[in-house]
Amino acid sequence: MEEPRIGVYVCWCGTNISKMVDVEAVTNEVKALPNVTIAKNYKYMCSDPGQDLIIKDIKLHNLNRVVVAACSPRIHELTFRTACEKAGINPYLFEMANVREQDSWVHTDRTEATNKAIDLVVAAIRRVRYHEPLQKRFVNVNPATLIIGGGISGLTAALEIANAGKQVYLVEKSDQLGGQVKKFDLTFPHLSSAQQMIRPIVQRVDNHPNISVFLETEIREVTGYIGNFKTAISVNGGDPVELEFGNIIAAVGLKPFNPEVISEYNYKEFPDVITSFEFEEKLLAGRILTVYGKEPRNVAIIHCVGSRNKKYHEYCSRVCCMAALKYVHQVRAALPSANIFEIYADMRAYGKGHEEFYALTTHRQIMFLMYDQQKKLPVINQADRSDNCNMIIEMDELLSGQSIEVPVDMVILMVNMEAQENVKQVVRAIGVSLCGNQFFIEKHPKLDPVATTTGGVYIIGTCQGPKDIPDSVAQARAAAARILGAIAQGSVPIEVTTASVNELLCCGCQTCIGVCPYKAISYDENNKVSIVNEILCKGCGTCGSACPAGAIISKHFTDLQILSEIEGVMSMS
C-alpha cells in the first residue's frame, strides 16, 4: 500500500457546525496526526469553492486520501466523492465524518461537541488510511417489467409503462383484475363511483398490446438481478411459461382483517354484524337490508376494528375513518329516518378534502360516540324482545363519561387492512424485507418510498403500508417513472461495496449462504468454497459478519477499516 497522504477538511456549514464546534481547534488537533498531509477548515465545503479547495490540494500536495468533516454522508458524500474523482483519485478513497447531525445539532456544550468532533474526525482519518479504490460497474436493463398484483396500483403502473411502449407482465393471483377497489361502491371524499373509475382501467389493461395478463397465477421464485430477472409461471396448472424482465413492481395490496377474533363484536354470532367490505356488497346490490329482509332502523358504524390495538394491529389503517363517514352519507341517503351512530376511537381526517368531508358529515343528523380503544371496546349483545331493536351495544362513552346502551339493527365493522396470506412467499421470491407489521420495507421512508434495497424491485400501493387510492396511484406512477428512467438509460449502476470471498480462507462451512437476503451466495462444489455473485450482492454485510472464518470481505467495510475507525474514536479521550 502506498503511504497515505490525507487531506482533512472541516466544514463550518455557515454557523450550523461552527457555532457549536470550534472548527479551528478541530483542524489544529488533527493537523499533526500521522499521515495527515494537510488540514483546513472552510465556510461551506460543499460549495464550488469548497470543492475546488479539495481538488487543488489533491493535485498540489499529491494527496491520495480525503476526509471531510461536515454533514451527513447521505447529503454530501456523493458531492465530495465526485470532487475526488475530478481531481483524479478514486472516489472511494474518501471518508466523511458527520459533525453536524451527529454532533453540532444535537449538543449544547461547545467544549464537549468540539471534543466529539475531534474523535469523529480522528476515526475517519484512521479509517480512510485503509480505504481501497473500487470500480463502478453497470449492467444492461431488459425493458420488460413484471408487476405482481392487479389492483389499482398495479394496473396504473402497468398502463404507465405500457403506454411508454414497454412490455409489461401483469400477474394476479385471483381470477380477476381490479383488486379491492372493484369491491367498492363509492369513494371518499367526493362520493364518486369506484366502479366507473376501475372498470375502464381494467378494460384498457386487458386490451393493451404491451400488457400480458396472467390471472390465477402466483410468483414462487425469481432469479437474476436488476436488469435481468427471470421467473417461471404456471397458468391454470399448465406448462410453465418463462418470463424475462428487468424490473419488478410488487403491488400485492392488503386484505381486510377478519374480526372474528374480537369476541366483543360477536361477528359470527350475529348475522347483522358485518364488515365494511360486506357492507360494500350491499351497497353495490343497491339495498341496505338486514338478514330478516328489513330496512334497519338503527345503524352503528364501529371504527378501528383490529386497528390501533396491540392485541390485533398496532397501526392505523388510514382509510377506515373516511370510509365510515362515506357510509353515513350512503345510509342517510338510502334510509332518511334511520338512526346512525358513529362509534369511533379517534377521528382521523388528514387528507385533502377530508376535514371538510368530516364537517359535512356532522350535518347529517347522526350521533358521534367515542370509545377508548385502550380501556374497553364496545360490546354487541342480543337485544330483548321488548327492546324494539335487534342488538344492543354497551359502551363507555368517553366524552360524556356515561356508560350507555345503543340500540342497533345493523353494525358495520370498519375493519383494518392487513397483510395478504402469501406475503412471505412474495417477499422471499423478490428479495425484499417485511417490517413488524408485515408491510414491505421501502429503501428510505422519506426520500425513496417506492424503491427497495434490492435493485430493480419496487413496492407500490398498500403492501408498503395502508393508504388510499390517490396515494396508491401516485406511488404507481412514481415507480413507473423510475423504471422507465432505467430503461431509457439502457444500463444501471450496481453496488460497488459488495462482499467477496477470500478462497484461501474459506473453509466451506456454508454459514453465509442461508443468511444472504439477496440469494447472492452459492457453494462451489469443486473448490469447496462459497462464491458471491457480485451483481446480486447489495453489500449489506450480513455474510461478512456471519463468516466465522473471516473469509468474507465486505468491500469498504472491512474489519480492518471498521476496527481502525473504532480505535480512532477511542484514541483521543
- Contact residues toward another protein (CB under 8 A) are 504-511, 513-515, 523, 528, 542, 545-551, 559-560, 563
The nearer residue to another protein, 316 or 562, going by C-beta atoms, is 562
Phi and psi based region of residue 237 (left: phi greater than 0; alpha: psi -120 to 50; beta: remaining): left
User: Closest approach of Cβ 214 to another protein, in Å?
Assistant: 31
The nearer residue to another protein, 334 or 515, going by C-beta atoms, is 515
C-alpha 49/C-alpha 51 separation (Å) is: 5
| Nearest-5° Cα angle at 554, 537 to 449 | 50
User: Closest approach of Cβ 497 to another protein, in Å?
Assistant: 18
User: Closest approach of Cβ 256 to another protein, in Å?
Assistant: 25
| Nearest-5° Cα angle at 210, 206 to 212 | 55
* Residue found by looking up cell 459533525 in the block: 99
Residue in 128, 120, 106 with CA at minimum distance from that of residue 17: 106
User: Closest approach of Cβ 93 to another protein, in Å?
Assistant: 22
User: Closest approach of Cβ 528 to another protein, in Å?
Assistant: 7
- Amino acid at site 56: K
The nearer residue to another protein, 281 or 559, going by C-beta atoms, is 559
Tell me which H or E stretch contains 382.
Answer: strand 379-382
The nearer residue to another protein, 388 or 502, going by C-beta atoms, is 502
Strands across the sheet containing 222-225: 222-225, 228-234, 240-245
Determine the straight-line distance between the first and last CA of the chain, rounded to whole angstroms.
29
C-alpha 458/C-alpha 477 separation (Å) is: 11
User: Closest approach of Cβ 1 to another protein, in Å?
Assistant: 15
The nearer residue to another protein, 415 or 553, going by C-beta atoms, is 553
C-alpha 531/C-alpha 538 separation (Å) is: 14
The nearer residue to another protein, 491 or 527, going by C-beta atoms, is 527
The nearer residue to another protein, 132 or 372, going by C-beta atoms, is 132
Alpha helix (H) residue ranges in 451-507:
469-489
Cross-strand pairs, 553? 500
The nearer residue to another protein, 137 or 556, going by C-beta atoms, is 556
The nearer residue to another protein, 284 or 549, going by C-beta atoms, is 549
User: Closest approach of Cβ 455 to another protein, in Å?
Assistant: 23
Range list of β-strands (E), 17-110: 36-42, 65-70, 94-98
User: Closest approach of Cβ 563 to another protein, in Å?
Assistant: 7
10 Å Cβ neighbour count for 427?
A: 24
C-alpha 536/C-alpha 519 separation (Å) is: 7
Q: Is 209 exposed, middle or buried (0-12, 13-18, 19+ CB in 10 A)?
A: exposed
Strands across the sheet containing 402-408: 379-382, 391-397, 402-408
Q: Residues 213, 206: contact at Cβ < 8 Å? A: yes
User: Closest approach of Cβ 48 to another protein, in Å?
Assistant: 42
The nearer residue to another protein, 291 or 507, going by C-beta atoms, is 507
User: Closest approach of Cβ 10 to another protein, in Å?
Assistant: 30
Helix %, strand %, coil % of the chain (to 5): 35, 25, 40
Cross-strand pairs, 254? 419
